[in-house]
């Protein structure tokens, strides 16, 4: 189980009743948005297209400000002089990498230090250290055009880390990558988060990203958080239709008998007892995928039988 600081420690981020309306727009892009990101957590923020994810990223990163409500970072209001301090402690990883084409990998990573006036020898040493951390030390002198998508993202991550942030914000960081590269980048982010004890906020439209790495999740829809909680809990028993729809996006296409319905569950594991209990309940295992929170299973269930699993009350059959 992940360890979090005592409840008295201020959350890494605390949004209270935040609203943001773009000029000329009748509807706010964000409204009544309340969100707590515990320190040391890995928070996934998920939502469909247009839900407000990019707007939220802009507020968290301090690139834009809210019209109403309060945004606290590490217990302090992000406003005025605090904004700079917040930005200095927040690393950003982007979907399109945002590397400068005319700079080498090393020079890209060193850029935030250069902007802060760190002397060259020192910034190059620090940038090289970050490149080593992401496994790219040997490619330090290559230009972005000479790197693969995954390598570019590793450079982007090294650049985000070079100033020593305590909060890392990854905005659709794996959306432009193929599944295998995406998995390796998520593993890297997870390793770094644990090694450096960072708070990681991952904004994504992909539920599999949430499943793979997060400890907590917040579901954004029409500019507000409609469901939030520990990832395992939300995945096991999603309460909001949007969460269920996002989870159901990977519903396997399998033929079902007339008396069967397809049921999705997240189980702590798939041990022989669980498998035997599924068989006794007349449930047919259609698909199983292991991830950090447990095992995601799709079952074909006989509509007239409740599901009995070890350690849980009988589960009604439903969508
Ligand atoms: N600069 C802008 N001016 C006016 N309206 C905007 C602007 N940026 C976003 N919006 C609107 O705000 C709402 C939220 O948009 P946002 O880009 O934050 O959503 P998103 O969840 O990031 O979507 P996507 O996944 O498609 O990128 C949408 O209705 C969008 O049309």
Which residue, by CA, sits nearest to atom 5 of ligand 1? 22
Average pLDDT over the chain, rounded to whole?
87
What pLDDT does 316 receive?
45
* Annotated domain spans of the chain: 13-246, 253-302
Question: To 10 degrees, the CA torsion angle through 166, 170, 171, 174?
Answer: 180
Is any atom of ligand 1 closer than 6 Å to the C-beta of 47? yes
Whether 317 has a pLDDT exceeding 50, the answer reads: no
What confidence tens digit (pLDDT) does each residue in 4-14 have?
555 567 899 99
What pLDDT does 166 receive?
96
Q: Give the position of tokens 């007239």.
A: 304
Which residue, by CA, sits nearest to atom 7 of ligand 1? 22
Where does the chain show beta strands of DSSP type E? 13-20, 30-37, 42-47, 68-73, 76-77, 90-93, 167-171, 199-204, 216-221, 224-230, 260-267, 284-291, 294-302
Please state which of the ranges 70-79, 182-191, 277-286 shows the lowest mean pLDDT. 277-286
Average pLDDT value for residue range 121-141:
96
Average pLDDT value for residue range 243-259:
79
Å from CA of 67 to ligand 1 middle: 16
Average pLDDT value for residue range 215-235:
94
Average pLDDT value for residue range 233-262:
81
Whether 134 has a pLDDT exceeding 90, the answer reads: yes
What pLDDT does 319 receive?
34
The model's pTM is: 0.80
What pLDDT does 200 receive?
96
Average pLDDT value for residue range 94-116:
94
Contact 44, 172 (CB under 8 A): no
Whether 186 has a pLDDT exceeding 80, the answer reads: yes
Q: Give the position of tokens 């507000």.
A: 224
> Dihedral sign, CA of 92, 153, 235, 261?
positive
Whether 1 has a pLDDT exceeding 60, the answer reads: no
Q: pLDDT > 90: what percent of the chain? A: 57
In CATH terms, the superfamily for domain 13-246 is P-loop containing nucleotide triphosphate hydrolases (3.40.50.300)
What pLDDT does 105 receive?
97
Please state which of the ranges 24-28, 164-168, 204-208 shows the lowest mean pLDDT. 204-208
Which residue, by CA, sits nearest to atom 13 of ligand 1? 29
Å from CA of 51 to ligand 1 middle: 7
Is any atom of ligand 1 closer than 6 Å to the C-beta of 25? yes
Whether 72 has a pLDDT exceeding 50, the answer reads: yes
What confidence tens digit (pLDDT) does each residue in 253-295 have?
788 888 787 777 767 788 888 888 888 888 888 888 776 666 7
């Amino acid at each position: 189980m992940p360890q979090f600081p005592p409840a008295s420690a201020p959350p890494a981020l605390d949004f209270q009743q935040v609203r943001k309306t773009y000029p000329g727009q009748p509807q706010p892009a964000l409204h009544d948005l309340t969100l707590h990101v515990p320190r040391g957590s890995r928070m996934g923020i998920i939502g469909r297209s247009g839900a407000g994810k990019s707007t939220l990223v802009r507020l968290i990163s301090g690139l834009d400000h809210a019209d109403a409500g309060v945004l606290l970072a590490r217990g302090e209001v992000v406003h005025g002089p605090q904004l700079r301090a917040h930005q200095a402690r927040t690393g950003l990883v982007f979907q399109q990498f945002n590397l400068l084409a005319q700079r080498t990998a090393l020079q890209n990573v060193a850029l935030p230090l250069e902007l802060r006036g760190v002397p060259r020898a020192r910034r190059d040493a620090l940038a090289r250290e970050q490149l080593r951390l992401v496994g790219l030390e040997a490619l330090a002198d290559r230009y972005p055009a000479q790197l693969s998508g995954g390598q570019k993202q590793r450079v982007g991550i090294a650049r985000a880390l070079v100033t020593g942030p305590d909060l890392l914000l990854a905005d659709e960081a794996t959306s432009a990558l193929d599944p295998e590269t995406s998995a390796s980048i998520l593993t890297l982010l997870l390793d770094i988060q644990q090694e450096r004890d960072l708070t990681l906020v991952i904004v994504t439209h992909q539920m599999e990203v949430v499943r793979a790495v997060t400890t907590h999740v917040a579901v954004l829809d029409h500019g507000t958080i409609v469901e939030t909680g520990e990832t395992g809990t939300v995945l096991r028993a999603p309460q909001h239709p949007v969460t269920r729809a996002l989870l159901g996006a990977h519903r396997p296409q399998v033929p079902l008998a007339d008396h069967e319905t397809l049921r999705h569950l997240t189980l702590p594991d798939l041990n022989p007892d669980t498998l035997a209990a599924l068989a006794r309940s007349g449930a047919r295992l259609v698909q199983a995928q292991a991830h950090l929170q447990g095992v995601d299973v799709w079952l074909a269930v006989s509509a007239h039988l409740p599901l009995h699993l070890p350690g849980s009350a009988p589960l009604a059959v439903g969508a």
